[in-house]
């Protein structure tokens, strides 16, 4: 089981190991590709969920992303970060899923995406779920271009250069979109918090 640090800050050994798996998968080794899927599944599901805001849609989009990755893998060039390449495919799969499904059908519940904490009181669990719901609701109000940058940075753990590679945009654009997204998200959350307080007044 790899730690979060290993996943977000891979060592030279880990990178070499991943490159070996990629080469094997490019040669048609499905078990090697299965290992790549296992390593990146949690990151992909986080990214697609935050982009589309629906647990079932995220699950479907993640599966679609890995199928697309398998088909496109022969064209992958190892000088590009694999994670950036994969997340770009995942973002496109999430956006395609959103286009196919009407917004009113989306499930705004995070029940299936949150890990239950057995030590939490019912009140604490409710507040955590409500906070998560508000954060996701605010993320969904962001323009798609800004949302993609925020999601890759905050939930995908990508560095600016990796985000630039994933979205094929300059690093300066990444920083400006991220700043815009964070400011807009902060405003939305402040407004939502005030509305929540007023509803209980």
For the segment 62-72, the average pLDDT, to the nearest whole number, is 96
Pair (82, 146) in one structural domain: no
Query: Tell me: the pLDDT tens digits for 127-151?
Result: 667 777 888 888 988 999 999 999 9
Q: Measure the CA–CA gap between 33 and 66, rounded to whole angstroms.
A: 9
52 and 25 within one domain: yes
Q: Is the CB of residue 156 less than 8 Å from the CB of residue 41?
A: no
Is residue 173 domain-shared with residue 93, that is, in the same domain? Answer: no
pLDDT number for residue 126: 62
85 and 178 belong to one structural domain: no
CA atoms within 13 A on the CB side of 39: 23
In this structure, are 92 and 144 located in the same domain?
Answer: no
Which of 37-46, 111-120, 177-186 is the least confident region? 111-120
Domain that includes residue 42, residue range: 1-107
Q: Among 68, 85, 107, where does a domain finish?
A: 107
141 plus 98 within the same structural domain: no
Number of domains in the chain: 2
Asked whether residue 46 is assigned to any structural domain, the reply reads: yes
> 97 and 131 in one domain?
no
Q: Are residues 150 and 96 in the same domain?
A: no
Please state the pTM of the whole predicted model.
0.73
What tens digit of pLDDT does each residue of 45-59 get?
999 999 988 888 899
């Amino acid at each position: 089981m790899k730690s979060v640090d290993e996943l977000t800050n891979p060592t030279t050994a880990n990178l070499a190991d991943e490159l070996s798996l990629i080469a094997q998968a490019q040669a048609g080794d499905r078990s090697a590709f299965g290992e790549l899927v296992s390593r990146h599944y949690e990151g992909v599901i986080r990214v697609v969920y935050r982009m589309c805001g629906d647990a079932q849609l995220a699950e479907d989009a993640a599966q679609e992303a890995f199928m697309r990755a398998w088909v496109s893998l022969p064209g992958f060039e190892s000088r590009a970060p694999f994670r950036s390449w994969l997340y770009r495919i995942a973002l496109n799969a999430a956006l395609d899923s959103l286009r196919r499904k009407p917004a009113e059908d989306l499930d705004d519940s995070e029940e299936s995406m949150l890990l239950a904490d057995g030590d939490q009181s019912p009140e604490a669990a409710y507040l955590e779920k409500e906070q998560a719901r508000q954060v996701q609701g605010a993320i969904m109000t962001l323009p798609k271009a800004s949302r993609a940058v925020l999601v890759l940075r905050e939930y995908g753990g990508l560095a600016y250069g990796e985000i630039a590679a994933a979205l094929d945009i300059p690093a300066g654009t990444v920083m400006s979109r991220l700043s815009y997204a964070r400011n807009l998200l902060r405003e939305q959350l402040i407004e939502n918090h005030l509305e929540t307080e007023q509803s209980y007044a």
